[in-house]
Chains A and B, each alone.
Chain A
Amino acid sequence: MIDLFLAAADSAVHGSTGGGVKFDTTIIMALLRLGLSMGFITTGVFFVFAGTLGVLRLPDFFSRIHAAGMTDTLGVELILLGLMLQAGFSLLSLKFLLVAFFLLLTSPTATHAMANAAYHGGLKPKLGRYKSPDIDTLRGYGEAK
């Protein structure tokens, strides 16, 4: 990484004799690809983690399915986009594209089928405002009275 920056600075210094600052475009492109793929993968892992926290913490099956379906679809696509940037223009990149395409098709369909089956199977969603528990009961003060 540091070598790359040094090489870029070196090429800029040596290229400036011809007038103006010239950069080696292949190094710049490699750095850009690396940074973009890292950003995509970081964002994707964040979304997958947020979806899992939603599945763990939300109070209802229908809200849980909303958290899992939406964030998983977005996070998976972002991670696969980052991996495609790392793999470059090759057969491996095409395979990643295939995985992304299938997941983009199947993940919302499976979510919809699950919600439909649960609703027709008799599971009703919780309606109304969410009432948080009283802070005194949480601390145990409510039991003393």
Chain B
Amino acid sequence: MEQLTEYFNLSAAFFLIITMMLMLGRLIAGPSLYDRLLAVNSFGTKIVIFLCLFCMIIDRPDGVDIAILYALMNFIATIAVLKFFRYRSLDLPLDGSFAEAKNAEGEL
């Protein structure tokens, strides 16, 4: 029973690796920048799932913490890259509250 679940998880991880390799094709051949960003985001999601499966295979539950971190970092990285390509800078807030705060400081 233990062996069966282990082999099953191994085969699932193998299929996930094939899927990740296919996603690299879109990363290389993407015509626009957003296609590449989509490929990177999807690749990161697959890495999270692969980490969870791998922790179940080798029976060490510590790696799931890394999977949680990777899921959060993946989202933040996607948003940061999108913001950089939209505004060409990272210190500009999206809702304009930074400029309003600066104006208030100037008035004071």
State whether these chains interact.
Answer: yes
- Apart from A41-B12, A76-B48: 15 A-B pairs, beta carbons within 8 A: A38-B8, A41-B9, A64-B26, A76-B45, A86-B5, A86-B56, A91-B61, A95-B68, A98-B68, A103-B48, A106-B72, A106-B75, A113-B82, A114-B34, A114-B37
Closest chain A CB from B106 CB (angstroms): 30
Closest chain B CB from A93 CB (angstroms): 10
Residue B32 is within 8 A (CB to CB) of chain A in the complex: yes
Contact of A68 among B42, B71, B74 (CB under 8 A): B42
Residue A49 is within 8 A (CB to CB) of chain B in the complex: yes
Contact (Cβ within 8 A) A99 B34: no
Contact (Cβ within 8 A) A117 B34: yes
Residues of B close to A68: CB separation below 8 A: 38, 41-42
Contact (Cβ within 8 A) B12 A109: no
Contact of A72 among B1, B45, B64 (CB under 8 A): B45
Contact (Cβ within 8 A) A55 B26: yes
Residues of B close to A55: CB separation below 8 A: 23, 26, 38-39, 42
Contact (Cβ within 8 A) B46 A48: yes
Interface residues of A in 77-127 (CB under 8 A from B): 79-80, 83, 86-87, 91-92, 95-96, 98-99, 102-103, 106-107, 109-110, 113-114, 117-118, 120-121, 123
Contact (Cβ within 8 A) B26 A83: no
Residue B19 is within 8 A (CB to CB) of chain A in the complex: yes
Residue-wise interface mask of B (25-45) relative to A, using a CB-CB cutoff of 8 A (1 in contact, 0 not): 110000010110111011001
Closest chain B CB from A141 CB (angstroms): 28
Chain B interface (Cβ < 8 Å from any Cβ of A) = 1, 4-5, 8-9, 12, 15-16, 18-19, 22-23, 25-26, 32, 34-35, 37-39, 41-42, 45-46, 48-49, 52-53, 56, 61, 64-65, 67-68, 71-72, 74-75, 78-79, 82, 85-86
Bound form: Cα–Cα A102–B44 in Å? 13
Contact (Cβ within 8 A) A48 B78: no
Contact (Cβ within 8 A) A106 B74: yes
Bound form: Cα–Cα A80–B71 in Å? 13
Contact (Cβ within 8 A) B61 A95: yes
Residue A1 is within 8 A (CB to CB) of chain B in the complex: yes
